[in-house]
Amino acid sequence: MKKSVFFGALAATTLVAGMASAATIDDVKARGELLCGSSTGLTGFGAPDASGNWTGFDVDLCRAVAAAVLGDATKVKFVPLTGETRFTALQSGEVDLLARNSTWTMSRDSELALDFVAVNYYDGQGFMVKKDLGVSSAKELDGATVCIQTGTTTELNLADFFKQNNITYQPVNVADDNEAQSQYVAGACDAYTTDASGLAASRATLPDAENHIILPEIISKEPLGPVVRHGDNNWGDIVRWTYYALLIAEEKGITQANVEEVLASTTDEEVKRLLGASGDMGVKIGLDNAAFKNAILAVGNYGEIFARNIGEGTSINLARGLNALWTQGGLQYAPPFR
């Protein structure tokens, strides 16, 4: 016990010492490479493909930041991190940025000395059941067996939900997503619960997808977003505004393909500022004025990133839902770019 207090104190001291001297932007520029903490493999959000190139929704955000900071979207090193190692790796400076579908919670924001700079995907926990179970609402799941990953917030949400609705369930504990899916397919449980985006990805790969439905109830809030170390506010601003630039680009109809064209013809002052044609918005946060243009040029706007990796054109087939722009009834809202 004493030992752990000692190590904790030592770690905290080093952390504070590290923060005082840290300027992540300088580290990244000196290294010429962005270290981006990513998942060890999550369908649609981040994984290496057959030839070893990283692709995915979170991966594209890292590429956008690299394009903004270094002017080259390929100068990213993806560091795969597990659920256990992700925050420590960020705190100890092994990665500059964590973009690994991490839920923004109060304790992570405060206790862990991390800053969630934006929410790039609003997710929530849902249920998938077989159609022939004859259930159309999660509230009808009384007495059902539910496949659930142990040691996650998902598990706690599930317990809360059933308690609130005065119904019972039988948990079938599994270690990870793949085991959960194979247990569910084998019929070991009636319902399978995890984040709705994960459910959609699982359902897309089932041999008989049409026989499975995702129930309408979303029982938790899971705002997922990029994370940086607490205390380096300038770096946090860079990541946040790179993300907002992608949102504004979608709002203004700027795409990867037409960005140069828009730049040449636009009369919109905000677009000019965004693309670096007027003002010095980039320089204000220590970047190039063309930084945000580079980001859009590298990965496209938010809508394009969504559509390419997880949207309705792909087999994961996620609707925009909460992640639509505010102008279209969603929650994605960027403050004014001025």
Partner 1 sequence: MSDAFFRTEMTPPKAPPITERGVVKWLRENLFAGPYNTILTLVALYVLYLFLSSVIPWLLNGVWNANSLQECREIVTASAGEGATGACWAMIRERWNQFLFGLYPQDLYWRPAVALGLLLVAIAPVLFPKVPRQLFWLTLFYPAIAFFLLWGGSIWTPIVAMMGFGVMALAYRLLVPLSGVTVAAMLGVLAAVLWWLFIDAPLAEALSAALPVGLQSVGSDQFGGFLLALVIGVTAISFSLPLGILLALGRQSDLPVVKMLCVGFIEFIRGVPLITLIFTAALLLGYFLPRGTNFDTILRVIILVTFFAAAYLAEVIRGGLAALPRGQYEAADALGLDYWRAQRLIILPQALKISIPGIVSTFIGLFKDTTLVSFVALLDPLRGVTSVVRADLNWKGIYWEPYIFVGAIFFVICFGMSRYSMYLEKKLKTDHR
Q: Under the rule (CB under 8 A), what is the footprint of partner 1?
A: 7, 10-11, 14-15, 18, 21-22, 27, 39-44, 46-52, 77-82, 84-85, 88-89, 91-94, 176, 178-179, 181-182, 185, 201-202, 204-207, 314-316
* Residue 58: its H or E element: helix 57-70
> Nearer Cβ to partner 1, position 46 or 300?
46
**At closest approach, how far in Å is the CB of 82 from partner 1?**
5
β pairing state of 212-214 and 47-48: unpaired
**At closest approach, how far in Å is the CB of 243 from partner 1?**
23
**At closest approach, how far in Å is the CB of 140 from partner 1?**
27
Q: How many CB atoms lie within 10 A of CB 159?
A: 13
**At closest approach, how far in Å is the CB of 258 from partner 1?**
29
CB 277 within 8 A of CB 286: no
> Nearer Cβ to partner 1, position 200 or 219?
200
Minimal CA–CA distance to 147: which of 202, 211, 100?
202
**At closest approach, how far in Å is the CB of 270 from partner 1?**
37
Q: Which tokens hold the place of 11?
A: 């770690």
User: What residue type is assigned to position 287 of the chain?
Assistant: L
Q: Which tokens hold the place of 233?
A: 């506010």
Radius of gyration of the chain measured on its C-alpha atoms: 21
Overall residue count recorded for the chain in this entry: 338
Q: Which residues contact 164 (CB under 8 A, 6 or more apart)?
A: none
CB 330 within 8 A of CB 320: yes
> Nearer Cβ to partner 1, position 220 or 309?
309
**At closest approach, how far in Å is the CB of 298 from partner 1?**
21
> Nearer Cβ to partner 1, position 53 or 170?
53
> Nearer Cβ to partner 1, position 87 or 243?
87
> Nearer Cβ to partner 1, position 143 or 207?
207
Q: Which tokens hold the place of 117?
A: 């700079």
Q: Which residues contact 79 (CB under 8 A, 6 or more apart)?
A: 35, 36, 37, 38, 89, 94, 95
**At closest approach, how far in Å is the CB of 44 from partner 1?**
7
> Nearer Cβ to partner 1, position 47 or 70?
47
* Residue 34: its H or E element: strand 34-39
